A and B are shown apart, each in its own frame.
Chain A
Amino acid sequence: MATLNSKIPEGPLSEKWTKYKASQKLVNPANKRKLDVIVVGTGLAGASAAASLGALGFNVKVFCIQDSPRRAHSIAAQGGINAAKNYPNDGDSVGRLFYDTIKGGDYRAREANVYRLAEVSNSIIDQCVAQGVPFAREYSGYLANRSFGGAQVSRTFYAKGQTGQQLLLGAYSALSQQIKAGTVKMYARKEMENLVIIDGKARGIITRDVKTGEIERWFGHCVILATGGYGNVYYLSTNAMNSNGSAAWQCYKKGAFFANPCYVQIHPTCIPVHGDYQSKLTLMSESLRNDGRIWVPKKKEDAEAIRKGEKTANDIDEQDRDYYLERRYPAFGNLVPRDIASRAAKERCDAGYGVGTGKAVFLDFKDAINRLGKDKVEERYGNLFQMYQKITDDNPYETPMMIYPAVHYTMGGLWVDYELQTTIDGLFAAGECNFSDHGANRLGASALMQGLADGYFVLPYTVQNYLSAEIYNAPIPTTHEAFDLAEKEVNEKIAKILSVKGNRTVDSFQKELGHIMWEKVGMGRNKEGLTEAIPMIKALKEEFWKNVRVDEANECMNPELEKALRFADHVELAELLAMDALQREESCGGHFREEHQTEEGEAKRDDENFMFVGAWQYKGEGSEPELHKEDLNYEFIKVQQRNYK
């Protein structure tokens, strides 16, 4: 065990996927009906996978924690979805999208997977249009595009500022069709609590019904995890309140390797933190950087006066403003990739030029309003401006927005091979919960692309290939001892939490963990901070098990218990994240080690020693996990220093 085989097909990059599809094994229609597939999660990846596999004729069971599959957090994605359609004829191609994604990920993603992603991107747009997704259109009736960070072409398709919503509702409608057809069974308000493994293969899951507390067993010939990212380890993030990394963590503890946990994306344009009661941070779409200009005062005394409320942004003369992104990165300006924009904001604020609470910079639309007129700006960004005004009580048409980076997305996740299979046979991972396509930094509008690529166009092939060997295996009754054991573990965990009867609420623990993570394992990391963080996280875990307070019983709707179950996993995941950040003695993409930067403060990669995927293997409670390395071989792309100047 413990050798990582990525199973990348032989041959030229552009032929790998075609070759795979031509040689994969199929299951005949009569046998498909006899094969059970479990899908956990109903975001873009989960819903599209469940709908597609259902349509193929497999027996699909799909689970979500919300009251309806339509609520998954994919719904909150604003800006758009990339595809290499090249409708604007501006020089785009599959190769260009592939290159931009690899470069954007700071050369830490697997070539073959990313190429396939770019290859199927066009089919996603076709599929969504056929489903009735109302993408923005030109007066000609043809589809419209816009630009996003890290690209010099317009390849982003969008539906107002609600692209994720429309794509998810498209996948949800496809899912609903299959539910009606009887190929898919939907189980809402059920949270996965454990993975069942029989003879080395993933064979089922244990769930807790969120309404009643009932613990249930489910069999599947294979299990697909599509449960999203773990950004909520940081407590404050742009994720939804219920987004969590628990299911992925349970799989890790059962033997699935966890890859690159330290790759966390911090999004540059979010509404800043304003109070300790705050529960989440709200994203302001990256599309705003098309027309907004980011700046801080040039003089420290101006910044200080603004912080004290003695001056406002409008009191600062043009020559006293530092448009630091335009100054540092003239070629891409305000549209540099997210990791770079975030770090630049932190650098200015740390140097004493921050506004607001000191942890904010201005995003200014004054020039855009002068150039285009207020009406045009309102047409483009009206809903975002309104959202900003509702939250902050400031009018962004008159005073610049204040923004600051916040945790947004996790590039790391369960290690998967080319077939999106984890190191556990029959356990697949799709969407944000796997590590596969974004390397160390994800480009804007690529998450939606990846989720739907995995669900609509990759898993239907690779899962079928896996299941072709399963046609001889009858469903295993859930009375099997492996189910007994997995359920027992869940019951014990719940009983243990309820028996603590301590003094601290779960939220107080999650907030404290978030604080440690943000301060020491956040945007800027260094050896000293990381070495301090690990024992702090360990101590917090210990305190949790001695002092958490959950009053009500399991057998009812009990959000405190739900949060406690997730925190118990998050606190462990946080530790691995910090360990991975400590191990990776280089800066790349979203992972910035302060010791490793150029003289100009840019991330300095170490390709010699760190051009690998770091995949961690669980070794049991109290033992150190083991790091496995999958070397990244760039056969087709020339690896370079990223340059957006």
Chain B
Amino acid sequence: MDFTLKIWRQENAQAKGRFETYKLTGISPDCSFLEMLDILNETLINDNIAHPVVFDNDCREGICGMCGLYINGRPHGPDDGVTTCQLHMRRFHDGDTITIEPWRARPFPVIKDLVVDRSAFDKIIQEGGYISATTGGVPDANAIPIPKQDADEAMDAASCIGCGACVAACKNASAMLFVSAKVSQFALLPQGKPEAKKRVVKMIKKMDDLGFGACTNTYACEAECPKSIKRTNIARMNREFICSKLTSSEE
């Protein structure tokens, strides 16, 4: 298969970026999207065309959350429920022009080419995305039975890989889906209850402070999430937030 690639190139955070166009021929339809970029980079180096295109990637099986490209206007490209690394070239047509950009969101500044800085997500988790259980001194794992349905729902929320597609998809660069997934996981489990009221308030405040936008309920985040995290998590987080504000005895 042959492709024309329009790729965002940017030297560093300060530099002005631009699109560059590269032609690539003879790609196998069984090739993954990132393998296609590997081939492009080998070609760019060997044919003295340009420096290789820098993109984040690691596990290449859809779980680490490292890869994330904006492909033809959609985070992680045209397939539903997959990450960029799980996308294969058979999903495109021979001769297609493919546009590849980094995530575009103010809290995710570009580092180089297609790589962005997502450390804002870590900062949100550090505000309360945990249950304060230090090592040792905890009860037996079966001491507290948890209804299967709650455990399953918590698992679905916990499947978030922190890739940032929800933020990239949102016109407001809101991180509501990401934050609500973590808040929901712990809100559903008895172990998470003691800190629930504080957790939701602190995480939302941090999200706002870091410059993520507000949610206007268009659910582009849910549509583009490679792990199909549900928007019902956002509703749950809003309930948790209101409850916390109304009932918390603390300032």
Q: Do A and B bind each other?
A: yes
Knowing A176-B129, A176-B130, A279-B34, say if A240 contacts B60 (CB, 8 Å).
Answer: yes
Is B242 part of the binding interface, using a Cβ–Cβ cutoff of 8 Å? no
Q: Decide if B88 touches A162 in the complex (CB within 8 Å).
A: no
Cβ contact within 8 Å between A559 and B60: no
- Distance between Cα atoms of A549 and B52 in the complex (Å): 12
Q: Are B145 and A141 within 8 A (Cβ)?
A: yes
Residue ID in chain B nearest A456 by CB atoms: B135
Chain A, Cβ-Cβ closest to B155: A134
For B130, list chain A residues within 8 Å (CB): 131-132, 173-174, 176-177
Q: Which of A125, A242, A460 contacts B141, CB < 8 Å?
A: A125
Q: Mark A545-560, 1 if CB is under 8 A from B, else 0.
A: 0000101100011011
Q: Flag whether B30 is at the interface (Cβ < 8 A).
A: yes
> Known contacts A137-B146, A166-B158, A242-B58; is A173 also within 8 Å of B141 by CB?
no
**Contact pick for A67, options B59, B86, B119, B154, CB 8 Å:** B119
Q: Which of B30, B118, B131 contacts A131 (CB 8 A)?
A: B131
Q: How far is the CA of A122 from the CA of B138 in the complex (A)?
A: 12
The A137-181 residues at the B interface (CB cut-off 8 A) are 137-143, 159-160, 162, 164-166, 169, 172-174, 176-177, 179-180
Q: Are B191 and A179 in contact (CB under 8 A)?
A: no
- B residues in contact with A66, CB < 8 Å: 58, 64, 66
What residues of chain B lie closer than 8 Å to A165, measured between beta carbons? 63, 159, 161
Tell me if A469 counts as interface (CB < 8 A to partner B): no
Which of B52, B58, B151, B185 meets A240, CB within 8 Å? B58
Least Cβ distance of B243 to chain A in Å?
Answer: 19
Report the separation of the CA atoms of residues A70 and B118 in the bound assembly, to the nearest whole angstrom. Answer: 12
Q: Closest Cβ of chain A: how far from B47's Cβ, in Å?
A: 12
B45 touches A549 (CB 8 A): yes
A277 to B: closest C-beta gap in Å: 5
A71 at interface by CB-CB < 8 Å: yes
A134-B185 CB under 8 A given contacts A66-B66, A71-B64, A275-B30: yes
- Complex Cα gap A508–B88 (Å): 23
Say yes or no for B1: interface residue by CB 8 A criterion: no
- Select which of A130, A141, A160, A164 is within 8 A of B131 by beta carbon: A130
CA distance A497 to B134 in the complex (A): 44
Closest to B147 in A: A141
Judging by beta carbons under 8 Å apart, are B12 and A73 in contact? Answer: no
In chain B, positions 1-31 with a C-beta closer than 8 Å to chain A are: 11-12, 28, 30-31
- Residue numbers in A under 8 Å from B154 (CB-CB): 132, 134
Kindly state whether residue A539 has any CB partner on chain B within 8 Å. Answer: no
Cβ-neighbour of A277 out of B35, B65, B115, B129 (below 8 A): B35
Decide if B82 is an interface residue (CB 8 Å cutoff). Answer: yes
Which residues in window 265-285 of A have CB below 8 A to B? 274-275, 277-280, 282-283
Bound form: Cα–Cα A274–B30 in Å: 8
Q: Which of B123-139 contact A (CB under 8 A)?
A: 125-127, 129-136, 138-139
Determine whether the beta carbon of B162 is less than 8 Å from that of A68: yes
A51, B132: Cα distance in complex, Å: 11
Answer whether A127 and B138 are a contact pair too, CB < 8 Å, given A141-B148, A159-B155: yes
Q: Which residues of A contact B162 (CB under 8 A)?
A: 68, 70
A639 to chain B, nearest CB (A): 34
B191 shortest CB reach to chain A, Å = 5
Give 11 CB contacts A-B under 8 Å: A51-B135, A126-B138, A126-B139, A128-B141, A174-B130, A275-B30, A279-B38, A283-B61, A456-B136, A556-B12, A557-B54
Binding site for A on B (CB under 8 A): 11-12, 28, 30-32, 34-35, 38-39, 42, 45-46, 51-52, 54, 56-66, 79, 82, 86, 88, 90, 111-112, 115, 117-119, 121-122, 125-127, 129-136, 138-142, 144-148, 151-152, 154-155, 158-159, 161-162, 185-186, 189, 191-192
